[in-house]
Structure 1
Amino acid sequence: MKHITFHLDFISPYAYLAFEHLPEALQGLSYSVRYQPVLLGAIVQHHGQLAPAQIPAKRAWTYRHVLWLGHAHGIPIDLPASHPYDPLPHLRLALATTHDGAINRHVAELIFRDVWRGGAEATDAARLAALSARLPQVRDGHGDAARAQLRANTEQAIAAGVFGVPAFEFDGRLFWGFDGLAMLRAALENDAWFDGPQWDEADRRPSLLRSNRPIPAS
């Protein structure tokens, strides 16, 4: 059996879509998944990036794109009443159900669907309380253990090269995004492409751009 680590943050619609599509995308393969919540905002900040929602045109495209992907793949999706929002309550609730930083698929499903179905306010206090009551063995979701585990998960993801979510680790390789699922499947199936030079040599070329220097218009 092959093992995948799925780095996720419930704030990401692409992570939700990838979560829902994963069983279909990998149908017929033997694998296990470690679902590992991370704080996307901290990862983006570490890499000196702006989140998509911080760029107005990209924010608009993202919402249209994820709604289209849901439609195209038959995945129910409704945008929350407000987005982006603070994902920490959901992340800490999730990690309050485990002792090793990984959550089971049932917990991930309950939280993802609470956020991305129905179009309600994701962080409404009453809804969070109701969600907490549906989760198994929830300890103090605002406690030090959950906070520390989220920090550890995020640091581990950054060390592994994660720059966004959804991100999938398999066999020392990292696959990013909803559309990375097809590539992940190929790797799981031992596609010979991964034994050739394309993977290892793709980034072995110099960049002519200096860090933080704008690209000239002409």
Structure 2
Amino acid sequence: MKHITFYLDFISPYAYLAFEKLPEALKGISYSVTYKPLLFAGLLKHHGQLGPAEIVGKREWTYRQVLWLAHEQGLEFQLPARHPFNPLPLLRLAVACDAKGTPNRYVCETLLRHVWRGGADAADESRLGQMTALLAPQRAPGSVEVKADLKAHTDEAIQQGVFGVPTITVDGKLFWGLDALPMLRAYLLGNAWFDGLDWDAARQLESGATRPKP
């Protein structure tokens, strides 16, 4: 049995889509999953990047693309009333639902669907209260311990080279995004390509130009 780690932030529509499609993508494969919420903004800050929703043009394209992807894959999906939003309350709630800070699939599913189904305001305080009552967290979401666990997930992901969400890690390999699910499946099925040179060759490719910093 292979064990995979699924890094996610509820703010990401791609995390929702990949989460919903993961069981189908890995059908027939023996595996277990640990879900680790992290702060996507923390990854962006570390790598010196803007989020897709912070870039004019890319913002609109991102929303169009995820709407199309959901339509194509037959998934229920509606954009929330506002995006981006502050995901920290949802992330902390998820982490608080488990003593070790790793929520189960039900918790992650509930919070992802809270954001990406129905078209309501994902950050609405009354809705957050309803989610808290429904999930009945084991720890206080605002506690020092929960905040530390969330930061630890983010720091751990950065140390492993994670730069975006969703990212799935297995055997030290990173698979980023919804469109990496077929590649992940191939790896878990023992595709011989992963025993070749191409995986490591991608890391060794030299850069021919460096853009100057402003």
Q: TM-score range by the shorter chain?
A: over 0.9
User: With structure 1 as the length reference, what TM-score do the two structures score?
Assistant: 0.95
- The answer for the alignment partner of 1:107 in structure 2 is 107
Q: Distance in 2 between matches of 1:136 and 1:70?
A: 30
- The answer for the alignment partner of 2:129 in structure 1 is 129
Q: Distance in 2 between matches of 1:28 and 1:212?
A: 48
Q: Distance in 1 between matches of 2:180 and 2:54?
A: 23
Tell me if structure 1 keeps the 8 A contact 2:99–2:138.
Answer: no
Q: Counterpart amino acid of 1:54?
A: E
Structure 1 position 75, deviation (Å): 0.9
Tell me if structure 1 keeps the 8 A contact 2:93–2:137.
Answer: no
Structure 1 position 140, deviation (Å): 1.3
Structure 1 position 211, deviation (Å): 5.1
Q: Distance in 2 between matches of 1:105 and 1:111?
A: 10
Structure 1 position 210, deviation (Å): 2.3
Q: Counterpart amino acid of 1:162?
A: V
Q: CA deviation digits over 1:56-111, x for unaligned, max 9?
A: 11110000000111001111110000000000000000011112221100000110
Structure 1 position 204, deviation (Å): 1.1
Q: Distance in 1 between matches of 2:205 and 2:23?
A: 36
User: With structure 2 as the length reference, what TM-score do the two structures score?
Assistant: 0.97
Q: Distance in 2 between matches of 1:21 and 1:88?
A: 24
Structure 1 position 143, deviation (Å): 1.2
Q: Distance in 2 between matches of 1:127 and 1:85?
A: 14
Q: Which runs of 5+ in 2 are unaligned?
A: none
Q: Distance in 1 between matches of 2:213 and 2:123?
A: 38
CA-based RMSD of the aligned residues comes to 1.2
Structure 1 position 174, deviation (Å): 0.3
After superposing the two structures, state which structure 1 stretch, 97-106 or 30-39, moved more. 97-106
- The answer for the alignment partner of 2:206 in structure 1 is 206
Q: Counterpart amino acid of 1:84?
A: P
- The answer for the alignment partner of 1:118 in structure 2 is 118
Q: Distance in 1 between matches of 2:65 and 2:138?
A: 34
Structure 1 position 213, deviation (Å): 5.0
Structure 1 position 148, deviation (Å): 0.5
Tell me if structure 1 keeps the 8 A contact 2:97–2:137.
Answer: yes
Q: Counterpart amino acid of 1:75?
A: L
Q: Distance in 2 between matches of 1:46 and 1:61?
A: 24
Q: CA deviation digits over 1:100-131, x for unaligned, max 9?
A: 22110000011001111000000111100001
Tell me if structure 2 keeps the 8 A contact 1:93–1:138.
Answer: no
Number of aligned positions between the proteins: 214
- The answer for the alignment partner of 2:23 in structure 1 is 23
- The answer for the alignment partner of 1:192 in structure 2 is 192
Percent sequence identity is 56
- The answer for the alignment partner of 2:63 in structure 1 is 63
Over 3 Å counting, the alpha-carbon distance change for 1:186 and 1:139 in structure 2 is same
Q: Distance in 1 between matches of 2:208 and 2:48?
A: 19
SS at the partner of 1:203?
A: helix
Q: Distance in 1 between matches of 2:78 and 2:184?
A: 27
Q: Distance in 1 between matches of 2:138 and 2:55?
A: 36
Q: Which runs of 5+ in 1 are unaligned?
A: none
Q: Counterpart amino acid of 2:163?
A: F
Tell me if structure 1 keeps the 8 A contact 2:99–2:139.
Answer: no
- The answer for the alignment partner of 1:36 in structure 2 is 36
Q: Distance in 1 between matches of 2:147 and 2:79?
A: 27
